[in-house]
Amino acid sequence: MAEVIWVELLSRHGPVSARFRCTGPEIRIGRSYHNDVVIDDAAVAPEHLRITRAADGAIVAEALDAQSFALAGERRDRSLIDGDSVLRIGHTLVRVRDADYPVPAEAPARRPTSWVAVSALIVAALAINGMMLWLDETTEPKATRYIGSIAELAAAALAWAALWAVFSRIFSGQARFSRNLTIGVSGILAYSLYRMLTSGLAFSLSSQAVANYAFGGIWLLLAIVCFLHLHGISPTRPLLKAAILGGLAAGVIGLQLANAFDLANPARQQPIYARTLLPPAFRLARVKSEDGFFAEINSLKAKLDSDRVAAASAP
């Protein structure tokens, strides 16, 4: 057996943690230093496993002495294996591949994140938030207020990106901080624009629906941002990830809606109306006639009376 055989030790989540290049008719695996592959696992015997080739060239795994190994959940002491079989001895996962094992064609290399683009995004997010602060300024402008808010925003973006970089480092081996930062800052930018747009629309169109239900978009946006982060960690199973995140977002939105419609919710005692005001020039909605306005008001009576009946029948 002159051919090269690779013995790979796998981490529990799949990636290879160590790889040994072995030649010779027989490869021995165990805890003692006589072996070709030495494993630091107290649950592995000093001489545990032997890898040989059958007459037809197939690879054979054989447990030594009274030992055994697990293959696809079954205890064995001898078995034919191939390059995709994962054996477990003690707590260690072992895979054996010979030099002919086919590898897929190379994937396109990821383009490194452009720091210019990241910087542009950061500047845009800070500029928009700074502008919103200025438009909301009703007292003497103070530099500390702007610097403080911008510092808070920057700290939040950095902390968010760092958190995802840590996850990414743990699960994919690469932190990809700049990519995570890009996603985080894009999220903040999208959130700021979305808030501007919805509050502006609620005012312009004089729409209570936009004002009351705009929160749904914020949860969806959060789900999209989380999806992009997860996709960066590992691009596998995008549909499953999208489904789980979409489901979570839908669940939170549903819960919030249920709360909003729950008559017993003490928060409902507060009046709900859109507080946002913009300069009159931004009002695009047509002025509602007095009759239309009073028709809306009169329609509240039936609702209030049914609330009263519901309250009377509540325990």
- Judged by beta carbon, residue 190 or residue 274, the one nearer other proteins is 274
Judged by CB under 8 A, which of 144, 236, 298, 313 binds other proteins? 298
Closest separation in Å from C-beta 214 to other proteins: 15
Nearer to other proteins, 26 or 307 (CB): 307
Question: Which residues is 86 bridged to in the sheet?
Answer: 95
**Are the C-beta atoms of residues 28 and 52 closer than 8 Å to each other?**
no
Handedness of CA 179, 180, 183, 189 (dihedral sign): negative
* Size of residue set near other proteins by CB under 8 A: 48
Stretch that binds other proteins, among 26-34, 160-168, 218-226, 305-313 (CB under 8 A): 305-313
Q: How many residues does the chain have?
A: 315
Q: 54, 105, 239, 312: which one contacts other proteins (CB under 8 A)? A: 312
Beta-carbon count within 10 A of 300 CB:
10
Per-residue H/E/C for 78-123: EEEECCCCEEEECCEEEEEEECCCCCCCCCCCCCCCCHHHHHHHHH
**Among residues 82 and 137, whose Cβ is nearest to other proteins?**
137
User: How crowded is residue 75: how many other Cβ atoms within 10 Å of its Cβ?
Assistant: 10
Smallest gap from residue 252 Cβ to other proteins (A)? 22
Closest distance of CB 269 from other proteins, Å: 4
Structure tokens at 208: 């209570």
Pick the piece of the chain touching other proteins (CB under 8 A) from 120-128, 213-221, 237-245, 296-304.
296-304
Site for other proteins in 116-145 (CB under 8 A): 135-140
The least distance separating other proteins from the CB of residue 226, rounded to whole angstroms, comes to 32
Site track 202-221 with other proteins (rule: CB under 8 A), x = hit: ----x-x-------------
Longest dimension (CA), the chain: 96
Query: What one-character DSSP code corresponds to residue 312?
Result: H
Interactions with other proteins, residue window 256-295 (CB under 8 A): 263-266, 268-281, 283, 285, 287-290, 292-294
Q: How far apart are CA 198 and CA 194, in angstroms?
A: 6
Q: Pick the closer one to other proteins by CB: 40 or 136.
A: 136
Alpha-carbon dihedral sign for residues 94, 99, 104, 110: positive
Element (H, E) at 303: helix 290-313
The dihedral built from the CA positions of residue 132, 135, 137 and 142, taken in this order, carries a sign that is positive
Compute CA 170 distance to the chain's CA centroid, rounded to the nearest angstrom: 13
State the nearest-atom distance from the C-beta of 120 to other proteins, in Å.
25
Any contact of residue 315 with other proteins (CB under 8 A)?
A: no
Binding site for other proteins (CB under 8 A): 135-140, 206, 208, 263-266, 268-281, 283, 285, 287-290, 292-294, 296-301, 303-305, 307-308, 311-312
